[in-house]
């Protein structure tokens, strides 16, 4: 950066959902800020982070098999708020199922991933109307992406909740041995094969683009190059928005 730009707002990040999610977000924040010209410590924004790995499983919470996540999210968001964060970012798609219960209890805005991703697609890919979504069963059950996409006049295409395609996506994320939550960035061949097959399935259903609607899926898609569809990474989109808000390029 040729001129030192004064930071205008401090992001607060609830990480640990899963343990790789905030690391991927921070990786994008640093890389994208470097692409904007940052070349030393002082040219990167300050942010606050909590690694909140004790928050109950979001999908299990949604279907009633785990404790309600709302009080946990509120607790950690208020810690960040008290520390001085000006806005909240949670790198976990499924956590946004609790957005309507959490946001009214805060004095700072929680930046909504699905709305931001849908607007990005409408702006940058106006030629596409049929948008594929791969996500956890919890995210699909709450129709978070479906609602945000249809609000902008876009069609969402996603696996049925109990379909073989969706069951395999859940395995790619949660399998205790080769799922991405278990392997981290060393994504297994089994998980990658599932992502390729699911993307081909979406293409056969008429999808023109696919959203990696889970932070673990973003990690997996990063390894894939020969896909039938363009894929969009909400993690990278939110990193760009986080930087824009932090530097004051857009209003909170």
Is 54 domain-assigned? yes
Residues 58 and 75 in one domain: yes
- Residue from 39, 40, 214, 250 carrying the catalytic annotation: 214
- If you count DSSP H runs as helices and E runs as strands, how many of each does the chain have, helices first? 12, 7
What pLDDT, on the 0 to 100 scale, is given for residue 176? Answer: 97
| Catalytic site includes residue 250 | no
Look at the chain and report how many structural domains it folds into. 2
Q: Name the stretches of the chain with pLDDT < 50.
A: 1
Print the domain residue range for 133. Answer: 113-233
Whether residue 108 is found in the same domain as residue 120: no
pLDDT digits (tens, 9 = 90+) for 20-40: 889 999 999 999 999 999 999
The encoded tokens of residue 87 equal: 């806005």
In a domain, 4, yes or no: no
CATH code of the domain in which 63 resides = 3.40.50.1860
Report yes or no on 6 lying in a domain: no
Residues 176 and 217 in one domain: yes
Do 151 and 134 lie in one domain? The reply is yes
Per-residue model confidence as pLDDT tens digits over 118-156: 999 999 999 999 999 999 998 999 899 999 999 999 999
Is the domain of 71 the same as that of 123?
no
Question: Among residues 40, 69, 92, 250, which one is catalytic?
Answer: 92
228 and 117, same structural domain? yes
pLDDT for the residue numbered 20 = 85
What is the C-alpha to C-alpha distance for residues 176 and 201, in angstroms, rounded to an integer? 25
- Look at the block and give the residue holding tokens 């008290």: 82
pLDDT of the residue at 19: 87
pTM recorded for the entire structure: 0.89
Enumerate residues 6+ apart whose C-beta is below 8 A from 17.
52, 53, 55, 58, 90, 91, 92, 94, 95, 215
Question: In the annotation, is 69 catalytic?
Answer: no
pLDDT of res. 1: 46
Q: Is residue 39 part of a domain?
A: yes
> Is the domain of 123 the same as that of 105?
no
Task: Answer yes or no: do 227 and 137 share one domain.
Answer: yes
> Does residue 208 belong to any structural domain of this protein?
yes
**Pairwise CA distance, residues 212 & 198, whole Å:** 11
Are 123 and 201 part of one and the same domain? yes
Write down the residue that tokens 């808000």 correspond to.
245
Looking at residue 103, its pLDDT comes to 98
CA distance linking residue 135 with residue 27, whole number of Å:
21
């Amino acid at each position: 950066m040729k001129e030192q730009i004064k930071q205008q707002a401090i992001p607060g990040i609830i990480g640990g959902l899963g343990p790789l999610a905030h690391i991927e977000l921070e990786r994008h924040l640093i890389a994208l800020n470097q692409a904007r010209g940052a070349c030393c410590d002082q040219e990167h924004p300050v942010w606050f982070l909590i690694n909140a790995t004790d928050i109950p499983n979001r999908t299990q919470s949604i279907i009633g098999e785990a404790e309600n996540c709302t009080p946990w999210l509120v607790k950690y968001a208020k810690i960040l708020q008290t520390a001085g964060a000006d806005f909240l970012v949670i790198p976990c798609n499924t956590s946004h199922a609790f957005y309507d219960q959490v946001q009214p209890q805060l004095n700072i805005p929680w930046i909504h991933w699905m709305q931001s991703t849908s607007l990005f697609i409408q702006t940058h890919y106006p030629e596409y109307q049929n948008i594929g979504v791969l996500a956890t069963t919890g995210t699909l059950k709450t129709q978070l992406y479906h609602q945000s996409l249809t609000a902008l006049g876009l069609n969402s295409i996603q696996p049925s909740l109990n379909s073989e395609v969706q069951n395999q996506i859940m395995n790619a994320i949660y399998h205790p041995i080769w799922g991405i939550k278990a392997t981290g960035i060393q994504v297994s061949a089994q998980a990658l094969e599932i992502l390729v097959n699911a993307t081909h399935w979406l293409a056969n259903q008429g999808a023109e683009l696919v959203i990696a609607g889970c932070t673990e899926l973003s990690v997996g898609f990063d390894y894939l190059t020969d896909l039938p569809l363009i894929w969009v990474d909400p993690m990278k989109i939110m990193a760009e928005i986080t930087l824009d808000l932090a530097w004051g390029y857009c209003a909170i």
